[in-house]
Structure 1
């Protein structure tokens, strides 16, 4: 062996500083005149020997952990490195003898912002490359001077593992032999200002359990058992099907349970109550549990608090096998400023806009995404696809859409810059949401996207290619939370019955715009925290009246056009606000707590609401069709009474009547269609089984030829106090 030509001062300086864009050009094995040059960077090593068939050659130390030498070989052999340390000798493949393990097509699609399976190209991927098993590490960091890989496999010293830049793509890559599933890692970024920062992988598919922040190499081994569910889902039209959602915060539903333990309890509970779907508050990894998951740092990783990604798949699988759809809250509106995560990821604003006023979210102390940057938009669009394809998620409820759509959201004059047309609309966010929805619906048949959008933005659930009066195409969502209905109806119920006559319109106004979008009626976690009180505690009166009003409201809600969502604990009238620290007050359902059906009765009502709802197409088949609804009595303000008809596709009706006064109304005449001679009560929220007073219509009600409410016939039901009844043709 002869000495290798000295490494240039500039290459040496940049390599040791972690700021070399092409370490493979100076490390590894390279043909040179008279042989093959070997060079490796192994800090703390006492010696390094090149080993191949019939060959053992000890490299010369160059100082600073560099070892090199030239062997008189014609070709580069299949070699390994024997690295001797003070107390051990390791035999290793040289990472710098491998070609890039990511293809040109991947890089091209990343550059265009059109890589719809981005998680297969970026991040950590165990694989066999050039006949050797290991893990390919890739990260997008276009502003970095250099990137080094570090982890438990290198004792968290990245000096020996600089990554190479793959041209103008901004992607850095290194294939590391011998590293596999379960390894902890991060990226050490050499910033443009000369500093360094240690970053978790934005594309990590698994993370350490918070408060630890390392990324974890992961490959899925879950064997799905939900083929029948997935095949059936693909042919469904959610707008014309039953859709009743139980919203769950997984860490607190039954505190202490893992994903797999939840899979033994949650599907059975939800199935027993008859909900068609669960909606999970964000499951993506987040550092602060008190954010409930709405400040995400690991957009591609289910939170490790409850188990592994395969454990989460096991839970989704169990729900599907029980016939229950799974919606997850998805948070593309913002991300936290943690120094190990996305903020100024490569030393400059990358995922966030460069303009600090545009980047900073004024309400939550977080950063907004730069939706105008193709790679950032790709990161989010691919993330939506990822949850649907990799985890078989059936729906994405997109959080805080309004904060994305408006440049002046929560900002005062002078704190925002108008768009190119002088308006307040965030045109980049509009384009992103349209692309995300179009991509998800194209790739994932049967999946529904749901917008939490609190303003009157035109066309939230209109197709992206249909341009509305505003000049914008639709955003392309499948459903939208009806925040107006929620606010108005809860405001009405908060009044004493004697005052409700003056607020009657708050219960009827929703029908003015009910068909402008495809709606979900949400009683979500946001309405039962932070001093807003639990649903039953919002109602005035004594305990009996509050509970009766709670039941009557649920009956009104389930009959109203639109799908429905109810947060955990409200299905049994929990009186206390929700707390993520201890979850629902399950002890209220224990018969030893009370022999009275106070809470068990409300849960029994929710079960019957769901079962009757699912069996009655009039309540869901024409949710988005004005012909599926007709007022009977919408102006009985002095009586606090509302009566309306719902129709299925064949014209078969259901009559819903709510009495929000605390008095019994005997023989309350209600107009009915002439074609129905006899009506039968199919649900009454005042039934004694539900904890009510038992004011029911036990016998069928015969229609009389007395015209009423503009109808040719009428019936005389008894209306229970603070109660809702449903009637169907006998």
Structure 2
């Protein structure tokens, strides 16, 4: 097996007169192919030939062709026959059916300019804007296909001004309630929404609209389904044979044997496949913490130490470093993102410096601290002001993306709007303020679908989104606020140019009693631009509060989450404030301004440096 386009050697490939097959099953006694082409008759199944040097089986099946269903009949090392789906299938039946399908793409891409621009921007991920709309495709609008989404979803994302979409795993999975995180088709997009070229069309349309595409990808574990990877050749082949390493206690799934080079090649090839064959602009690697720690969710006696007696999974660490290195070497400009929640040091540090080599990491700390603060009644928030201020103490320890993700709006946690205290109008106002605050805070941005309109109900994959109607003005105001925030975000380099630079952000005010804080974001020095974010998380308006400012002059109000156009009370600063020279302010800066902020609101004030006040 090889990590470089090994999908050209494995899986099913239609050719003149039939199709050729290749599968890895080193401990199998015999391997056959059965399918539509032989009526699924075991007596007519085609025998594959074994390559003793690799443990792979190959063969040609006459009469097999595009769209045909098939499975491997594997006589395992234990003497049992098993009917198995292809680990490298490119297409599948629609669940709950689980046969593989022969499929060769005929799609012609139209995104050459996009890919060229992506390569040219390689290495600039921390200095470019990124606001991500996270989407579970099957439930965004129930009943829509990839082809439908190529018009409806693309227009929605473009209209709201997001730079990227992130798809919850599109890889085939038997249980819809896993949202794709229990993958069986590591090379096959789910057929629930169409065939693989339909997904290619969706990605292509997003690219032509100027929108990047990120895929969630799950190398940490896989489900136990008997027809899939589990005990593929009658032995623990893909999974680790020791249950202390090979079984996941939280998810009831099996853990890959990261120490086996063939398994590592399989996973590296899967990652490259989605980049090369589906033009993914990045992969968000799920559950990285569970891969890195041998004692993850395990008690004493339930885990096996590494060779040094420690808890680090050395084989998984090596896999992740190889993964990020290979992706960056082969596809400059593709972004690798880690969901890592256990504070592993150096997740976004280059591998040459001992890091894991990811470009970005989800800032789970920011998400947890901030949500823990905003769910409280305003009268109680002053006692928990540290939850709001603490995230800035670690905001530059990695290259971060700030997520308000699917995990926070499901299984009884409530919607983002529903987390806010108060009546419906106050909840919507609170959510407008939260998103304006998130968009100003250092780090890239991610919002799960439904948050853009203040959906009142928590998300359910079975129900889908609750789309606003014409008689819900507060939700339309919410959507307009986010659209404007994305537009202003792109327009002001201060909000993204120095995300990873601690000197690019500075505290201006932190008043626990008033539930108020303010900070400044700075663009590059030669741009002479800054943006000040003032957040009022109290339940009352704050008028003429003196805030330290980076320099004297006029600061224009470019966003106000309490503006009447968004359904707010209209409290604001009449378009601008004037900062005056005032040596010796508490912040050490030499200017300040009187700022007014509505209840639960956030305002952005933009200014450019001028030597004349």
What TM-score do you get using the length of structure 1 for normalisation?
A: 0.81
1:373 aligns with 2:260: yes
- Identify the match of residue 445 of structure 2 among 557, 564, 568: 564
Aligned with 2:306: secondary structure? Answer: coil
- Structure 2 match to 1:151: 35
Aligned with 2:47: secondary structure? Answer: coil
- Identify the match of residue 701 of structure 1 among 577, 586, 589: 577
Query: What is the alpha-carbon distance in structure 2 between the residues aligned to residue 700 and residue 349 of structure 1?
Result: 66
- Structure 2 match to 1:622: 498
- Identify the match of residue 137 of structure 1 among 2, 16, 21: 21
1:582 aligns with 2:463: yes
Report 1:287-366 matches (<5 A). 287-366=174-253
Report 1:507-522 matches (<5 A). 507-522=388-403
- Identify the match of residue 207 of structure 1 among 83, 89, 92: 92
Ranges in structure 1 where 5+ consecutive residues have no aligned partner? 1-109, 467-472
- The answer (yes or no) to whether the contact 2:37–2:63 under 8 Å persists in 1 is no
- The answer (yes or no) to whether the contact 1:148–1:159 under 8 Å persists in 2 is no
- Structure 1 match to 2:611: none
Higher mean C-alpha displacement, 336-345 vs 676-685: 676-685
Query: What is the alpha-carbon distance in structure 2 between the residues aligned to residue 673 and residue 284 of structure 1?
Result: 48
- Structure 2 match to 1:537: 418
Show CA shifts across 1:574-612 (max 9, x none). Answer: 1100011121111x2x22x34xx2100000000000000
Show CA shifts across 1:518-574 (max 9, x none). Answer: 001000010000111101111112222211111111111000000010011111111
- Structure 2 match to 1:99: none
- Structure 1 match to 2:387: 506
- The answer (yes or no) to whether the contact 2:576–2:605 under 8 Å persists in 1 is no
- Identify the match of residue 669 of structure 1 among 543, 546, 555: 546
- Identify the match of residue 224 of structure 1 among 99, 109, 119: 109
1:386 aligns with 2:255: no
Show CA shifts across 1:325-355 (max 9, x none). Answer: 0001101110000000000000000000111
* CA RMSD after TM alignment: 1.1
Query: What is the alpha-carbon distance in structure 1 between the residues aligned to residue 229 and residue 345 of structure 2?
Result: 32
Ranges in structure 2 where 5+ consecutive residues have no aligned partner? 609-613
Query: What is the alpha-carbon distance in structure 1 between the residues aligned to residue 168 and residue 183 of structure 2?
Result: 12
Aligned with 1:159: secondary structure? Answer: helix
Query: What is the alpha-carbon distance in structure 2 between the residues aligned to residue 651 and residue 368 of structure 1?
Result: 51
Report 1:690-729 matches (<5 A). 690-707=566-583, 708-709=585-586, 710-729=588-607
Query: What is the alpha-carbon distance in structure 2 between the residues aligned to residue 148 and residue 267 of structure 1?
Result: 43
Shift of 1:699: 4.1
Query: What is the alpha-carbon distance in structure 2 between the residues aligned to residue 194 and residue 460 of structure 1?
Result: 44
Report 1:20-35 matches (<5 A). none
- Identify the match of residue 355 of structure 2 among 474, 495, 501: 474
Aligned with 1:168: secondary structure? Answer: coil
- Identify the match of residue 376 of structure 2 among 478, 495, 501: 495
Query: What is the alpha-carbon distance in structure 1 between the residues aligned to residue 43 and residue 383 of structure 2?
Result: 73
**Runs of 4 or more consecutive aligned structure 1 residues displaced over 4 Å after TM superposition:** none
- Structure 2 match to 1:639: 514
Aligned with 1:668: secondary structure? Answer: strand
Aligned with 1:718: secondary structure? Answer: strand
- Structure 2 match to 1:115: 3
- Identify the match of residue 481 of structure 2 among 605, 618, 625: 605
- The answer (yes or no) to whether the contact 1:559–1:619 under 8 Å persists in 2 is yes
Aligned with 1:698: secondary structure? Answer: coil
Query: What is the alpha-carbon distance in structure 1 between the residues aligned to residue 50 and residue 575 of structure 2?
Result: 79
Query: What is the alpha-carbon distance in structure 1 between the residues aligned to residue 63 and residue 424 of structure 2?
Result: 65
- Structure 1 match to 2:120: 235
1:180 aligns with 2:180: no
1:444 aligns with 2:331: yes
1:281 aligns with 2:168: yes
Aligned with 2:235: secondary structure? Answer: coil
- Structure 1 match to 2:317: 430
Shift of 1:705: 2.5
Show CA shifts across 1:94-129 (max 9, x none). Answer: xxxxxxxxxxxxxxxx1xxx432111111111235x
Query: What is the alpha-carbon distance in structure 1 between the residues aligned to residue 381 and residue 404 of structure 2?
Result: 21
Show CA shifts across 1:129-180 (max 9, x none). Answer: xxxx321101000010111111111111243411110112010011123322
